Amino acid sequence: MTTTRFQRGSLSYRNGLARNRFNQLFTTLAALFTGIAVLPLVLVLAYVLIKGGSLISLQLLSQLPPPPGLDGGGIGNAIVGTVLVTLIASLIAIPVGIGAGVYLAEIAAGGGFARFVRFGTNVLAGVPSIICGVFVYGLIVSTRVFFDQSYSAMAGGIALAVLMLPTVIKTTEEALKLVPDELRWAAQGIGASRAVTILRVTLPAAVAPIATGAVLGIARAAGETAPLIFTALFSPFWPDGVFNPIATMSVLIYNFAIMPYEAQISLAWAASFVLVVMILLANLLARGLGHWSQS
């Protein structure tokens, strides 16, 4: 029987080997590309913080914007309008999206209609947001279907709901697919119907991933501008119901950033900072829900 004897240090890491140098090279390249990928996010956050973070005050968050060319004022109406429009979109998109996701995952998983819905969802996810705005403009704004009103917060919410739907549908379907089949079999084994199994077993087991998808959809909708220009337009006043034009932060940023007045440009930077913080908090909430679902 032959015994192989290793010299001392033969199993230690050696920099001089070709494979180790090759590994170091590609590790460095991977780290470099990762830094390049993250750099735009860091630069955007830093620049918005420098330009708009110093302007944050109680007056900015609670007052109306000033007339063009005048100093002072705030973005209070745009903050309230953004929350209102996003709330309308959430009330429409989340129930519909969860219902569609349940249908695709639990009822018609392999049917022809289910494949058509999945294909349509993927296509809708890639449609430019301005197309959704033009669609809702032609369907609702130009026809004045809401009490003979044209531009309105309701129309803006519907446009954002169209953008939110693919995210909610896909995350709901994927979350339900992660629920073990044993839970469904156990519920059906004690006589539970399909509806009871879905409502009492499957959905509660997937509530955290579904909530994560809903929050991601809200974060995307809150930052959209093009659909709101065609639907909610803008208003320099406080919101006056959901069937009238309304201010939102994204449209305020667009309107004020192109004005030749320093006061309005400053408000645009301040609104940019507030909007970035809101979207960042929403994404952090989504990540928190994701970690909670895995724990």
For the chain, the domains span 58-294
pLDDT in tens, 50-77: 888 888 899 999 999 998 888 888 999 9
- State how far the Cα of 268 lies from the Cα of 274, in Å rounded to an integer: 10
**Per-residue pLDDT for 2 more than 60?**
no
- Write out the CATH class of domain 58-294: mainly alpha
pTM, two decimals, is 0.84
Q: Rg of the Cα trace of the chain?
A: 26
pLDDT in tens, 211-231: 888 988 898 888 889 999 999
Average pLDDT, integer, range 37-41: 91
pLDDT in tens, 20-36: 888 888 999 999 999 99
**Per-residue pLDDT for 169 more than 90?**
yes
Joined tokens for residue 108: 């018609």
Closest to 65 measured CA to CA, from 235, 269, 228? 235
Return the pLDDT at 294: 61
